[in-house]
Amino acid sequence: MNILLIEDNPSIIKGITYALEKNNYNLTSKTTIKDTKEYLNTKPSLALIILDITLPDGNGYNLFESIIKPLNIPTIFLTANDEEDIIVASLNAGAEDYLTKPFSIKELLARINKIILRTKKTNIISIKNITFSLDKLILTKNNKPIELTPLELKILNLLFLNLNKVVTRTTLLDKIWEWTGNYVDTHTITVYLNRIREKIGTNIITTIKGLGYCIDAE
């Protein structure tokens, strides 16, 4: 199980490294935003990220919002600030959990184990005869893989991440612009979704008229 620690305090790095390796986790540590971005560009397989909010070359919040959050990697925030507003802001931003310094290594381990146990249960979604892996972005039908383009997989991943919720056309337009840098209109969205439906061959994507699209869990 691979975990990334983003922290610049040597003593904290040493303590977490010792504890996690003793518990059979593989830990990689980075001390700056720059090094973290370079590492994440290699597309490592990560179960969890532990992120210090205050780093030598920038703000951990910005790193999370711009780089980590789109990767859908569960993240625990670390900070010396225990103000309620900061805690709430972290959780609202999408953090899985939040620890203030100083903290107990045992408590950190307990929270890591809880998150990993939960994500293990939810990273593969099965509906009818379709199975989708949120980790590997692999779609199968009757246990046979279905070939989709990278963009089609990203669109499908967004729908599965919002299971039982409507993903609006505006959200899809914004995301495709973010992923490709290309302008698309609502007609193009319709074309993409129809192609995905044809390849899947099972009607799991519902059109919500005037709003967007939704995948409902049975």
Q: Computed over its alpha carbons, how large is the radius of gyration of the chain?
A: 19
Q: Is 141 exposed, middle or buried (0-12, 13-18, 19+ CB in 10 A)?
A: middle
Q: Assess whether the region 2-122 and the region 124-215 belong to the same CATH fold.
A: no
Q: Answer for the pair 141, 197: CB distance below 8 angstroms, yes or no.
A: no
| Amino acid residing at 186 | T
Domain spans in the chain, listed from the N-terminal domain onward: 2-122, 124-215
Q: Which is it for strands 205-208 and 212-215: parallel, antiparallel or unpaired? A: antiparallel
CATH number of 124-215: 1.10.10.10
Task: Specify burial of residue 29 (Cβ count, 10 A radius: 0-12, 13-18, 19+).
Answer: buried
Q: Which of 35, 31, 117 is nearest to 74 (CA)?
A: 117
Strand partners, 77: 51, 98
* Residue 79: predicted pLDDT: 81
For residues 206 and 165, the answer to whether their CB atoms sit within 8 Å is no
Separation of first and last alpha carbons in the chain:
31
Contact 139, 132 (CB under 8 A): yes
Rounded to 5 degrees, φ, ψ at 9 are -85, 115
- Beta-carbon neighbour count of residue 47 at 10 Å? 19
Q: What is the pLDDT of residue 122?
A: 61
pTM of the predicted structure, to 2 decimals: 0.57
Sheet hosting strand 97-100, strand order edge to edge: 26-30, 2-6, 48-52, 75-79, 97-100
* CATH match of 2-122 with 3.40.50.2300: yes
Q: What is the pLDDT along the chain (218 residues), one digit of tens a residue?
A: 799 999 999 999 999 999 999 888 999 999 999 999 999 998 888 989 999 988 999 988 889 989 998 888 999 999 877 666 766 777 777 888 888 888 999 999 998 988 887 776 567 788 888 899 887 889 999 889 999 999 999 999 999 988 888 999 999 999 999 898 888 888 999 999 999 999 999 889 999 988 999 998 75
Give the pLDDT score at 82.
Answer: 66
Distance separating alpha carbons of residues 53 and 7, to the nearest angstrom: 9
